[in-house]
Chains A and B, each alone.
Chain A
Amino acid sequence: MVTNRKNERLIYLVFTMPATIAFFLVVIMPFAIGIGYSFVDWDGIVLNPMTFVGLDNYKRIFTDERFIASALHTLIFTLMAVVTINVTGLALALLVTSKLKGSNMARTMFFMPNLIGGLILGYIWKFILSDTFRSIGETTGWTGVFFNWLLDPLFALFSLVVVITWQMAGYVMIIYITGLQSVPDDLIEAAKIDGAGAFTRFFRITFPLIMPAVTVCIFYTLSNCFKIYDINLALTGGGPANATELFAMNIYNEIFSYNRYGYGQAKAIIFFFLVAIVTLTQVALTKRKEVQL
């Protein structure tokens, strides 16, 4: 009996340990060590001294104009992108589920950009939004729209919104499609017979019923936009003049470009708290609005 129980324990460890060890070494330990680093002043060079500065790094963040600017840009970008991605994705889902011929093909095309990595997408769009747009503007004379977007601080931020919408609209479309397919047809038919127009049907029946899909999509887009890095790096590189340096890039630059390891890590810890707060609040808020049939 005793050996049996010992055996059970051993089996338990064999099953759980490989996953747990990898996870512990790659996620938990760096996280804990990272908290430690956020209290020191260090330039990343092993031979140079590391000095304990307590909460100074955290205090400094609140007066760091560049970080505050990047926070603001991230906020504007995230708000715009979450709206455009979800509106586009839902519109595409409605279009694709409207029982038209060719909807499978259209769905395939809309989803395509999602499989391509952010870095590569960023590079493709960099060419389009700079050289291609400028060239179109020169030939057509519509220079109000077609100019090098990446040289203008505001339009460079819009560029990021455009690219991430292009990438993620197809993804949220897929989730909205499953949501829409779960809306019972007879409910829509009944509303039609009662004389509800297309808009009323959508906003009064379909939309409340797909609220679970909305939760999932907003949660997903919110945390992804907030953490965006690859597209930012490839498309704008933070420019012009740091106007599009978003959170993740600001942290990366602080640590690896300016070699302020302690201070940069303090920012990274704040970043973690922001991501956690934003996503948890969002889930709590939208969960309440879901309608159960």
Chain B
Amino acid sequence: MKTGRKVLSAAASVFMILLGLCFLIPLYIMVINSFKNRAELYMSPVALPTVLRIENYAEAIDRMNFLTSFMNSLVVTVSSVFFIVLFSSMCAWMLARTDDRKSRFLYFAFVATMLIPFHTLMMPLVQMMKWSREYLGIPVLNTRYGIVFMYIGFGMSLAVFLFHGFVKSIPVSLEEAATLDGCSRFGVFFRISFPIMKPTIMTVIILDIIWIWNDYLLPSLVLNGKELRTIPLSTSSFFGVFTIQWNEAMAGLTLTIIPVVIFYFCAQKYIIKGVVAGAVK
């Protein structure tokens, strides 16, 4: 009886792992085809490559301008996330700690606009970017700070909502004690409240990294120059109007996924926590 049960549970475990591996088959197909030459790729996309053609990677790096676009993605993501966390935590803290009509209204505005899809804002936003250069002399199109600013704006709603919810759950007494000891409002926020918010800070960082790193549409509207392209924009260079060089494209896609996989394995614990916390919005 006991051994029967053990065998059954072992079989179930094996089944589960196999299912997990099935889930990764598309990535496997991507990797094996990234090493093939064209003839081999078309002969059978599921067979293992007979020779490892590393040149695909060199060509992909060249074609995507991989290092530049990787750095662009990194700079845009890191700076956007930094400012989103800073501004939204400050704002949400103040709104949660001030109980008056304008704070409640502002909070409501942040939360209600989460329903607006990006496609509703995209065209007017592009027009505004053009006006900004024409009438104010501030170029926004084709600048890194322009896209970072837009990510800050788009990131506010969810981040303010998450921080606000968390601040409401921290007792005020600690902050009051600090104020009595002569701590300024800034001191209270940066020395006491901000460090306590760490779980929410991690959630916001994780969710926004995943969002901004993978975002395609906004950068495609803002960044036209080849030297400013982010990773998602550069992958589209494989998929032009004419025939697709699948082996090179697969090498390129593999390259773009490697940083994501590394990030996943380093921060898995936080990612899963962040996803759970972010979903209960």
| Chain B CB within 8 A of A145 CB | no
Interface membership of chain A positions 92-121, coded 1 if the CB is closer than 8 angstroms to chain B and 0 otherwise: 000110101111011011111111111110
Alpha-carbon separation in the docked complex, A264 to B253 (Å): 33
Q: Are A174 and B275 in contact (CB under 8 A)?
A: yes
Nearest Cβ distance between residue A283 and chain B, in whole angstroms? Answer: 11
With contact pairs A19-B160, A28-B113 given, residues A229 and B119 touching in the complex (Cβ less than 8 Å): yes
Q: Is B54's beta carbon under 8 Å from chain A?
A: no
| Interface residue count on the B side (C-beta < 8 Å) | 89
Q: Which of B58-113 touch A at CB < 8 Å? A: 83, 86-88, 90-95, 98, 106, 109-110, 113
A261, CB-defined interface residue at 8 Å: yes
Query: Within the assembled complex, what's the spacing in Å between the Cα atoms of A280 and B264?
Result: 33
A269, CB-defined interface residue at 8 Å: yes
Residues of A within 8 Å of B44, CB to CB, are 135, 139
Determine, out of A31-39, A55-63, A190-198, the stretch whose residues face the partner at the interface. A31-39
Q: Is the CB of A26 within 8 A of B150?
A: yes
Q: Decide yes or no: A15 and B119 within 8 Å by CB, A31-B124, A117-B213 being known contacts.
A: no
* A117 adjacent to B216 (CB under 8 Å): yes
* B17 pairs with A102, CB closer than 8 A: yes
Q: Tell me whether B23 and A178 are in contact (CB under 8 A).
A: no
Kindly state whether residue B170 has any CB partner on chain A within 8 Å: no
Q: Which of B33, B125, B264, B280 contacts A30 (CB 8 A)?
A: B125
B91 touches A18 (CB 8 A): yes
Closest Cβ of chain A to B202, distance in Å, is 15
Closest to A26 in B: B153
Interface of A is mostly: helix
Q: Tell me, in angstroms, the Cα distance from A19 to B9 when the chains sit together.
A: 52
Q: Does B51 contact A (CB under 8 A)?
A: no
Given A28-B109, A28-B113, is A95 in contact with B19 using a C-beta cutoff of 8 Å?
yes
Q: Residues of B contacting A98 with CB < 8 Å?
A: 12
CB of A161, distance to nearest CB on chain B (Å): 15
The chain A residue with its CB closest to the CB of B257 is A116
Cβ 8 A contact of A106, one of B20, B122, B152, B186: B20
How far is it, in angstroms, between the C-alpha of A265 and the C-alpha of B210 when the chains are bound?
A: 28
Q: Is A113 a contact partner of B23 (Cβ separation < 8 A)? A: yes
Interface size on A, residues (CB 8 A): 84
Q: Which of B12, B16, B157 has the most CB of A within 10 A?
A: B16
**Contacting chain B: which of A72-80, A126-134, A147-155, A199-207?**
A126-134
In the complex, which residues of chain A have a beta carbon less than 8 angstroms from the beta carbon of B98?
12
Could you tell me the distance between the alpha carbons of A284 and B191 in the complex, rounded to whole angstroms?
40
Determine if A281 is an interface residue (Cβ-Cβ < 8 Å). Answer: no
Alpha-carbon separation in the docked complex, A102 to B280 (Å): 27
- Complex contact B121–A31 (CB within 8 A): yes
A30 to B182, CA, bound (A): 43
Q: How far is the CA of A262 from the CA of B120 in the complex (A)?
A: 12
A103-B16, A216-B280 as given contacts; A37 in contact with B26, CB under 8 Å = no
The reply to whether B23 and A275 contact each other, CB–CB distance below 8 Å, is no
Contact B119 A268 (CB under 8 A): yes
Residues of chain B with a CB closer than 8 A to A269's CB: 120
Instruction: Name, among A27, A248, A268, A279, the residue most crowded by chain B CB atoms within 10 Å (CB to CB).
Output: A27
Q: Is the CB of B16 within 8 A of A127?
A: no
Of residues 142 through 163 on chain B, the ones whose CB sits less than 8 Å from some CB of chain A are 149-150, 152-154, 156-157, 160
Say whether B133 faces chain A, with CB atoms less than 8 Å apart: no
Cβ contacts under 8 Å, B124 to chain A: 29-31, 33-34, 37, 265
The answer to whether B157 touches A27 (Cβ under 8 A) is yes
Bound-complex Cα distance A33 to B124 (A): 6
Once the chains are docked, how many angstroms separate the CA of A250 from the CA of B264? 34
Q: With an 8 A cutoff between CB atoms, is B117 at the interface? A: yes
- In the bound complex, CA of A37 to CA of B33 (Å): 47
User: Which residues 232-275 in A have Cβ within 8 Å of B in the complex?
Assistant: 233-234, 247-248, 251-252, 255-256, 261, 264-265, 268-269, 271-272, 275
Distance, CA A214 to CA B109, complexed state (A): 27
Q: Is the CB of A166 within 8 A of B13?
A: no
Is A291 located at the chain interface by the 8 A CB criterion?
no
A interface, CB within 8 angstroms of B: 11-12, 15-16, 18-20, 22-31, 33-34, 37, 46, 95-96, 98, 100-103, 105-106, 108-120, 123-125, 127-128, 131-132, 135-136, 139, 166, 170-171, 174-175, 178, 216-217, 220, 227, 229-230, 233-234, 247-248, 251-252, 255-256, 261, 264-265, 268-269, 271-272, 275-276, 279-280
For the complex with contacts A25-B153, A114-B275, 5 further pairs of A-B residues with Cβ separation under 8 Å are A11-B186, A12-B98, A20-B91, A26-B121, A127-B250
For this complex, 15 residue pairs linking A to B, each with C-beta atoms less than 8 Å apart, are A15-B94, A16-B106, A18-B90, A19-B87, A23-B153, A109-B23, A112-B261, A119-B232, A123-B235, A124-B250, A127-B250, A227-B117, A229-B217, A268-B117, A271-B120
